Amino acid sequence: MLHPAWWTIDPCARFQLGPRIFPGRIWTASGCFAYGLTGHDMTSDDVASPYSGLGAVVTKTVTPLPRSGNPMPRLVETPHGALNSIGLENVGFEAFLAEVLPELEERGVPTVVSLAATNPGEFGAMAARLQECAGPLGCWHGVELNLSCPNVAEGGHDFGKDPRTVAQCVAAARSHLPDRALLAKLTPNVADIAGLARAAAEAGADAVSAVNTFVGLEVDLATGKPILPRRFGGYSGPALLPLALAKVDEIVSRTGVPVVGAGGIATAEDALKFFALGAVAVQVGTAQMRDPFTAARIARDLGKQG
């Protein structure tokens, strides 16, 4: 692609975020590349690996105890995106520490661990345990606190709408992560996302991830009822791009807090729009689920000279 004149950054070069040096600025979003272990046997004619050029794989969100997730169906395709109601299905924190994280390290996957809990104390306890077990690991670069998932009854997007609660969760985790980056993933389903970002940063977050999914609903005309058993789900995909850009711009222009941008990114041009607004890195989500080489191709395309 032909780069705009202002684009001078190498997205595959190392950069510092908080106390950590990341290997690049193109990341995959939580839940959209599983735990980061599923792409090693995949091949493509134009990209060596789904991991080529990636700065981080944000893992599927992990909770204190295993979760089986929400009832089926959990995913609804729409003309311009997808609604999901996965419900944070995961193996649980201790199994993740014992089985998943060591394999990520062995395979050399740059990792940000996504954590979800229902109160600040749980976030603090998980961060402390993670530091205790994984402190020596070189590929574990940080933690993303999922404060904004709209698919669970406890916590979820309402949990992350209160700046005071956001600050408490960040502060609880920060004290246990002296040498790892700490990010807070913010909900867009608020009137003042900049206030959430400011609260997170003042409590010790090195950056915020923006944005998570918007709350959405789809109706089955055959029954006249919502398709998802829990009625609402998290809406993601190409339709979110202008909305996500507006939220990122609000955070950057009003607070100056470092932002890892996400929402509707499917091409290098999409990613450039977030960088133009001041994002320090980007996460590829729904597009990565459809094609696991998407983030690697974006890194490749942005790394070419125009």
Looking at the annotation, which residues are catalytic?
A: 149
Task: List, in order, residues 6 or more apart from 275 with CB less than 8 Å away.
Answer: 7, 9, 25, 261, 282
Cis peptide before 211 (omega within 30 of 0): yes
Type of residue numbered 32 = C
CB 134 within 8 A of CB 101: yes
For CA atoms 57, 58, 64, 69, give the dihedral sign: negative
By the 10 Å C-beta count (0-12 exposed, 13-18 middle, 19+ buried), 138 is classed as exposed
| Phi and psi based region of residue 292 (left: phi greater than 0; alpha: psi -120 to 50; beta: remaining) | alpha
Establish whether the linkage from the previous residue to 73 is cis, with ω within 30° of 0.
yes
Please tell me what DSSP assigns to residue 239. G
Residues making up the chain, counted from first to last: 306
Partners of 78 in beta bridges: 81
As a whole number of angstroms, the distance between CA 32 and CA 284 comes to 8
Residues 6+ apart with CB under 8 A from 172: 120, 121, 123, 124, 127
Give which of 136, 132, 84 is closest to 105, Cα–Cα.
Answer: 136
Cα separation of 22 and 259, whole Å? 14
